[in-house]
Structure 1
Amino acid sequence: MRILIGMSNGTVESDLRSLLDELDGTEVVGVAQSSSMVLDYASRIDPDVVILHEHLGPEPVAQTIRDLGTRFPSVAVLQISGERTDATVIRAMEAGARGVIGHPFAFDDLSAKITQAGDWARHMKNILAGAIAQASSARGKVLAFVGAKGGVGTTTLALHVAIDHLTANPDRRVCVVDLDLEKGDVSAVLEVRQAVSIADLAKVHQDLSSTTVNDAIVQHECGLNLLLSPADVRHTEIITAEALRPIFALLRREFDLIVVDGGGSVSPSQATVLELADEAVVVTTADVLAVRAMRKRVLAWEALGVTDERALRVLVNKVDKTSIFPASAVEQLTTASVLESTVPLSVRALEPAMNERDPRAVTEVAWWKLMTAVRRDLDLETAAVEKTPKGGRMRGTRATTPTEPTPADEAAAVATAQATADAADEASDGAGPDAEPASRPAGRRRIRERGQLSLENVVMLPFALLIALAAWQVVVIGLTFVMSGNAAAAAAREYSVSGNRSAAEAEARRSTPMGFDDLGVSVSGNDVTVRMRIPMAGPRNIGFPQELSSTRGMVSER
């Protein structure tokens, strides 16, 4: 049994400690000398029983008991009083205490009160644990994105992950909450104008209902439900921790997934979201300033008792393969879990979404595949690998354009066109008995010419296919040459640091996209060579190359 003592009288404390030492299974985990210290210690050391002296200040002891009962409902509170009168006991019990201990102490009385309080605390913890488990099984999941600093892409990733989840699960309700109270970028990114915000819910947080919450929700045309930050910065003071807890409790009942943009600055609202979230993701970039800012954020959260670093997930955004600071170094600088999926620098891919104020305007299928991979790393429901956003406009991509024609398709198209031309000519040849006789020989000449054209198409088709295959091989070889150069550079950097060929080969594979990762790494002196197999290479027996190699020099950094 863990006991916290709230007392500023050293003599009474000494007497109490001597008696508690004689009780089996008790441990004094701290002594607080003021009411504020009691609340602070209780939040950090999780006691089972708190013993308060009636003269503990500066707050009245009854108010301290009520605060403990409100914030820590499973903690049993006992009050020490010099006069244990009926009025004293009634006041303490009305405030929420489990009993009053008289001073000077009687061992039997103290032992009985401590035992009863400990049994009550254990029982309450079991009840709360069962209630939390039952509520968790039927409530929506809160996924919080917070930035290591401003400009790392927190809002963009939060919105795109939410849209990707909604696309994969159209029957689910997804809500995006903008708690970046200073900037509020969600409304700007989606071009939404709102008359109400989360500040309006905070004003009436003591009398919330599902109707009130739904009235404050803005439904975007993409299907997302939005709870936006206030437009007037003066209203941010209303959004307190006490207001956010009932708001998120109702959001869990109304939505299957709540994605929160927590912003990039440490604030009370951000700290509350980190406490309430089922999963917290810290978005950072692979550079010194961002990683340093992330470390400062984590230290601040731990100092405030908000969360532990090991409970966080880290997502590395805007990864540039040419950067001196590798994305793999982030994992070595934090004890948090770094997601396997990293987001590359994608300015061109995201530019349409920012210009049109619509994330669905992103036309890169690879981007949405990456968002699906991020969702899987975050243990959200698995979605289909290839898809486009709901109602998305995949202009100029393989997602919406027809698949490239095969040789059989080309032959069928030629035959269809030829049959159409034949039918048209036959109709013109048989236009009627009154047609000019000179037109019939011309029709027969066209028939003979059509037969010659069909024969020419059949003869030229293999040559056309051979030319197309050669052009395709030139493109693939060029891409392989570029990819092997990038892989060789990555392997050289890794080998210069670690001196391990296997690590260099693994880094080379990570730096190449799927389809070009069939490669091998060899080291000779100060040179690292990558031999990469050309994907979909033509037949070897007619001279098509099967692999390429690239060599890069390295400078030892060990």
Structure 2
Amino acid sequence: MPTRILPAVGDADAVRSITTLLSQLPDAEPVAPVVDSTQLVDTLARLAAESVDELPEVVVVHERIGPVPALELIREVALRFPAVGVILVTSDPSPGLFQAAMDYGARGVVALPLSYEELASRVQAVAQWSVGVRRHLGSGGDVFTGVGGTVVTVSGAKGGVGATLTAIQLALAAQASGRTTALLDMDLQTGDVAAYLDVQFRRSVVDLAAITDISPRVLADAVFRHDTGLALLLAPGEGERGEEVSDRSARQIVSALRSRYEVVVIDCGAQLGGAGAAVVEMADTALLVTTPDVVAVRGAKRAVRMWDRLQIRKAEETTVVVNRHTRSTEIQPPLIRKITGTAVAATVIPAHFKELQAVVDAGRVHELENRSTVKQALWGLAGELGLVRAVQGDRRTGRPRGDRGSVSFRRRRDSGG
């Protein structure tokens, strides 16, 4: 079977040189080159949406590709498209650069000026590796190999407003609808996802913090598979270890999860550190949970303004979720929208804590009864956000279940992912 090779080269002369040499390789099938990082990622995403088998076995990245630097681009390709082998073409084949390229996910480095023998040897080795990975993925069960999963962050306007419960129920709703779903606890000092789901665990997100190449196997070793089917990546049991998760490692971890799951829900807690800021910035949808009281709404306004000042996220790109809502309270969603300058979810969560108390105290919120109005509201919110897979139509309305409205709060990802 011919080896499909996709050159990613910005310089016209380099394009001609590389494509000419690639066309001479035995069993090689060079495809039309791409000229920048954005076009490369978009091309791979389009092919992956059809099937992992449509992806080229080898991508050749020239050192002068832009606008994303070559090493950063290699890391994104390696994380989002783990079945594609990347070769870096560079004029600096030093041991330091070679090690850096390997750390970022490259499978080979070829020096300029190009040598037929060296290029042929690297392409053959990387192609064999890619075929092996695809064979493994083909027998890997519920592996998501699409364009990239939807990432939703859930933050609290202050402590105790219900962000963790919201994150858990959104993830459960997505999983129950048939979507492969991961729940990441990024409340690194005081995360309670494990306690809410009655989980005893050994590994946590900290175990991935120092790893620069998070392979599918490494990720699988760190994830806890819950009885509900959720993949859990939990906060450390020792809160002080949360400092080991940097903003850079947080980005890598979320990118790895996004490449493997259709939905990634992240509990960010109420305290914003560098790692939390990074994942909020990456999210397709950033939720900010508040209760309809003065202190919490002030906290929401303060958080929104801080995110804007730090250029993490603009107010209009944030969606506030109102928890413990009653019709009698003076602070209603339209006022919260006016105060914060954000969108406000149409679905509000009712103030019915008695429904929750037994499962919260038992640490088994996944067993919350279907008739619970709180659960119904939170799963309705999942539908509003587009997290659930549409299934057969509702007999009463004709609308697919999971399609709870036309409003979409998904943020369009830029080329940086």
* 1:207 CA displacement: 2.9
* 1:72 CA displacement: 8.9
Find 1:304's aligned residue among 306, 310, 313: 310
Distance 1:136 1:363, change over 3 A: closer
Q: What do the CA deviations read for 1:58-97 (whole angstroms, capped 9, x no partner)?
A: xxxxxxxxxx958998xxxxxxxxxxxxxxxx99xxxx9x
Letter aligned with residue 192 of structure 1: V
- Would you say 1:380 and 2:387 are equivalent positions? yes
- Would you say 1:248 and 2:248 are equivalent positions? no
Q: What do the CA deviations read for 1:235-257 (whole angstroms, capped 9, x no partner)?
A: 21210111112212211121111
Structure 1 counterpart of 2:324: 318
- Give the secondary structure class of the aligned counterpart of 2:175: helix
* 1:355 CA displacement: 2.5
CA distance in 2, matches of 1:351, 1:315: 21
Aligned pairs for 1:25-104 within 5 A:
69=69
Asked if the contact 1:372–1:385 (Cα under 8 Å) also holds between the matched residues in 2, the reply is: no
* 1:317 CA displacement: 0.4
Distance 1:224 1:137, change over 3 A: closer
CA distance in 2, matches of 1:324, 1:314: 17
* 1:385 CA displacement: 10
* 1:321 CA displacement: 2.6
- Would you say 1:174 and 2:195 are equivalent positions? no
* 1:296 CA displacement: 1.0
Structure 2 counterpart of 1:348: 354
- Give the secondary structure class of the aligned counterpart of 2:266: strand
- Taking structure 2 as the reference length, the TM-score comes to 0.58
- Would you say 1:281 and 2:256 are equivalent positions? no
Structure 2 counterpart of 1:154: 163
- Would you say 1:193 and 2:179 are equivalent positions? no
Asked if the contact 1:139–1:256 (Cα under 8 Å) also holds between the matched residues in 2, the reply is: yes
Structure 1 counterpart of 2:404: none
- Give the secondary structure class of the aligned counterpart of 1:332: helix
Structure 1 counterpart of 2:403: none
* 1:189 CA displacement: 0.8
CA distance in 2, matches of 1:250, 1:297: 27
- Taking structure 1 as the reference length, the TM-score comes to 0.44
Find 2:210's aligned residue among 193, 197, 203: 203
CA distance in 2, matches of 1:187, 1:207: 26
- Give the secondary structure class of the aligned counterpart of 1:333: helix
* 1:382 CA displacement: 5.0
Find 2:242's aligned residue among 236, 239, 250: 236
Distance 1:386 1:228, change over 3 A: farther
CA distance in 2, matches of 1:286, 1:136: 40
Distance 1:308 1:136, change over 3 A: farther
Aligned pairs for 1:446-457 within 5 A:
none
Letter aligned with residue 377 of structure 2: L
Distance 1:199 1:360, change over 3 A: closer
Structure 2 counterpart of 1:338: 344
Asked if the contact 2:197–2:366 (Cα under 8 Å) also holds between the matched residues in 1, the reply is: no
Asked if the contact 1:369–1:385 (Cα under 8 Å) also holds between the matched residues in 2, the reply is: no
CA distance in 1, matches of 2:176, 2:362: 19
Q: What do the CA deviations read for 1:382-402 (whole angstroms, capped 9, x no partner)?
A: 556999xxxxxxxxxxxxxxx
* 1:290 CA displacement: 0.7
Structure 2 counterpart of 1:47: none
* 1:326 CA displacement: 2.8
Aligned pairs for 1:150-549 within 5 A:
150-169=159-178, 172-204=179-211, 206-365=212-371, 366-383=373-390
Distance 1:382 1:271, change over 3 A: same
Letter aligned with residue 209 of structure 1: S
CA distance in 1, matches of 2:161, 2:236: 22
CA distance in 2, matches of 1:192, 1:136: 28
* 1:212 CA displacement: 0.6
Asked if the contact 1:319–1:327 (Cα under 8 Å) also holds between the matched residues in 2, the reply is: no
Asked if the contact 2:350–2:374 (Cα under 8 Å) also holds between the matched residues in 1, the reply is: no
CA distance in 1, matches of 2:156, 2:70: 31
- Give the secondary structure class of the aligned counterpart of 1:207: coil
CA distance in 1, matches of 2:383, 2:272: 28
Find 1:140's aligned residue among 124, 145, 149: 149
Structure 2 counterpart of 1:53: none
Asked if the contact 2:189–2:236 (Cα under 8 Å) also holds between the matched residues in 1, the reply is: no
CA distance in 2, matches of 1:253, 1:151: 32
Distance 1:232 1:368, change over 3 A: closer
Distance 1:70 1:320, change over 3 A: farther
Asked if the contact 1:281–1:312 (Cα under 8 Å) also holds between the matched residues in 2, the reply is: yes
CA distance in 1, matches of 2:310, 2:204: 27
CA distance in 1, matches of 2:357, 2:151: 28
Q: What do the CA deviations read for 1:328-369 (whole angstroms, capped 9, x no partner)?
A: 321221221111110011211111221232223322523343
* 1:259 CA displacement: 0.5
CA distance in 1, matches of 2:186, 2:393: 31
Distance 1:208 1:384, change over 3 A: closer
* 1:136 CA displacement: 11
CA distance in 1, matches of 2:392, 2:161: 26
- Give the secondary structure class of the aligned counterpart of 2:290: strand
Name which structure has the greater RCO, CA cutoff 8 Å, separation 6+: 2
CA distance in 2, matches of 1:360, 1:268: 30
Q: What do the CA deviations read for 1:123-179 (whole angstroms, capped 9, x no partner)?
A: xxxxxxxxxxxx99611111111111110100001101111221222xx32110000
Asked if the contact 1:319–1:343 (Cα under 8 Å) also holds between the matched residues in 2, the reply is: yes
Q: Which has the higher helix share?
A: 1
Distance 1:351 1:137, change over 3 A: same
Asked if the contact 2:167–2:267 (Cα under 8 Å) also holds between the matched residues in 1, the reply is: yes
Percent identical across equivalent pairs? Answer: 28
Asked if the contact 2:149–2:262 (Cα under 8 Å) also holds between the matched residues in 1, the reply is: yes
